Amino acid sequence: MKLSQFKFNLPESLVANNPAEQRDEARLMVLHKDSGKIEHKIFKDVLGYFDDKDVMILNNTKVFPARLYGNKEKTGATIEVFLLRELNKELRLWDVLVDPARKIRVGNKLYFGDDDLLVAEVVDNTTSRGRTIRFLFEGTDEEFRKNVEILGETPLPKYIKRKATAEDKERYQTIFAKHEGAVAAPTAGLHFSRELMKRLELKGVEFAEVTLHVGLGTFRTVEVEDLTKHKMDSEQFIIEPKDANIVNKALEDKRKICAVGTTSMRAIESAVSANRTLKAANDWTSKFIFPPYDFSIANSMITNFHTPESTLLMMVSAFGGYENVMNAYEVAVKEKYKFYSYGDAMLII
C-alpha cells in the first residue's frame, strides 16, 4: 500500500487539546469489522461487548516527566532537553533531544532548576537534534529520579498547543501504569477508569498486562510513498509468562481477546510463537504493521483516532480493514469525534 492512501482531511479543531471530563465518558465509535457497521456510544458502554473469560491486554508502561528546561553555561540560553531513554544507570548517561540543537555542542554544560538542582554535560552528538548527556549527580538513584520528577514536565505531544498542567500529570497516564519508561502515553488505555475496570472484572473479564515503552517514534512522520521502505523506531517490550498464559488460555477457548491500543498490539504481534500463540519476551521491536497483515492473537481492538498518514492509522486499517476504517474516519470527522492522544476512542470488533 501507498502512503497517499492514508490521507484524509482532519480539521485542526478536531485534535483534542484536553481530555474528556471523566476518563470513561469520552465518545466511543464501535466498528464491526465483518459488516462495516458503525455504532456511536460512550466509552463506558464497552462493558456491553465483553463477557466472562474474555481478555483485555493492557500496556502498563508509565510515562515519566521527560521534558526539562535548562540553561546553557556562560550564555544562559534556555534549552529544552527531552529525555528519550537512560543508557547507563551508574554513569547517568541519557539519550536526549535538544532544542535549539545548533547551540548545543559536546563539552557544553547545562544547568536545570533555580539552584542548579541538576547539572549535565553533553558527551556526544547522535543525530541533528540528538545528544548523549551525562548528569553530574552524586546522590542516590532515588534522589536523582526525585529531582527529575521535580524539574520535568509531562511530555505532552507538540500538537497539543498549550503548556502541560498539574492535571496532565494524572490524566496523561493510565490508571494501571506501573513500569516507568515511556515518553508518550499508550493513549487507548487513558479511557479506563477505576469504576469501569471494576465493572469489567465483576463481569468476569480478565486482564493481561504487557509493557511496551512508547518512544517518540510513535509521532514520526512517514516520508516514503512505498510503505515497505519505512523503518520504525525500536521500542522495548516485556511480556511475562503469567500474562502470556492468560492470553493463550483465551485463545484456546476461542474467547474475545482485545488489544487495548496500538502499543499492546505491537507488543503481542512481536512475540508470536511458531504455533501462533503468545510467548513471554523481553526484547526490542521495530515491527511495522500495515495492510495487508495477518494478526495472530487479538480479535478485537480499542484505539484512539489517529492523524492522517500515521503508522498508527496504518495498523488500525490492517486490523479493521482498509475500506472500513477509512469510511469510519470519514464518519468520525463528520460527527466531530476528537482525535489523537486526548481524543475519543474506537472499538473494532
pLDDT score at 159:
86
Q: Quick one: CATH architecture of 65-151? A: Beta Barrel (2.40)
Q: Residue 70's Cα: distance from chain center in Å?
A: 26
pLDDT at res. 192: 98
pLDDT of 219 above 80:
no
Q: Are 304 and 192 within 8 A, CB to CB?
A: no
- What is this structure's pTM? 0.92
Rounded-to-integer distance, Cα 102 and Cα 76, Å: 15
Pairing of β 345-348 and β 78-88: unpaired
CA distances from 176 to 85, 191, 252 (A): 21, 11, 26
- What count of Cα atoms within 13 Å lies in the side-chain half-sphere of residue 115? 2
CATH 3.40.1780.10 domain range(s) in the chain:
1-61+168-346
What does the pLDDT read at residue 239?
98
Q: Is the pLDDT of residue 218 over 80?
A: no
Residue range(s) in the chain whose domain bears CATH number 2.40.10.240: 65-151
Confidence (pLDDT) at 334: 98
Is residue 233 pLDDT above 80, yes or no? Answer: yes
Cell numbers 535538544 correspond to what residue?
98
pLDDT tens-digit series, residues 100-121: 988 899 999 999 998 889 999 9
Contact indicator for 68, 80 with CB cutoff of 8 Å:
yes
Please tell me the predicted confidence (pLDDT) of residue 323: 97
| pLDDT for the residue 120 | 95
Residue 11, number of CB atoms within 10 A of its CB: 9
Mean pLDDT throughout 336-345?
97
pLDDT digits (tens, 9 = 90+) for 15-45: 999 999 999 999 999 999 999 999 999 999 9
Q: What is the pLDDT of residue 265?
A: 98
Pairing type for strands 281-285 and 78-88 reads unpaired
Residue located via cell numbers 498490539: 265
How far apart, in whole angstroms, are the C-alpha atoms of residue 104 and residue 110?
A: 9
pLDDT digits (tens, 9 = 90+) for 173-199: 999 999 999 999 999 999 999 999 999
Q: Among residues 268, 270, 220, 215, which one has the least CA distance to residue 3?
A: 220
Longest dimension (CA), the chain: 66
Report the C-alpha gap between 63 and 169 in whole angstroms: 9
Instruction: Tell whether the model's pLDDT for residue 315 goes beyond 90.
Output: yes
Strands (E), 47-197: 55-59, 61-63, 67-72, 78-88, 93-99, 109-112, 118-125, 130-135, 179-182
Cell of 264: 499492546
pLDDT digits (tens, 9 = 90+) for 54-97: 999 999 999 999 999 999 987 888 999 999 989 999 999 999 99
Which of 95, 342, 344, 93 has the alpha carbon at shortest distance from 216? 95
What does the mean pLDDT of the chain come to?
Answer: 95
Q: Which CATH number fits domain 1-61+168-346: 3.30.70.20, 3.40.1780.10, 3.40.350.10, 1.10.260.40?
A: 3.40.1780.10
Query: What would the mean pLDDT of 218-235 be, rounded to a whole number?
Result: 91
171 residue type, one letter? R
CA-nearest of 92, 89, 148, 74 to 117 is 148
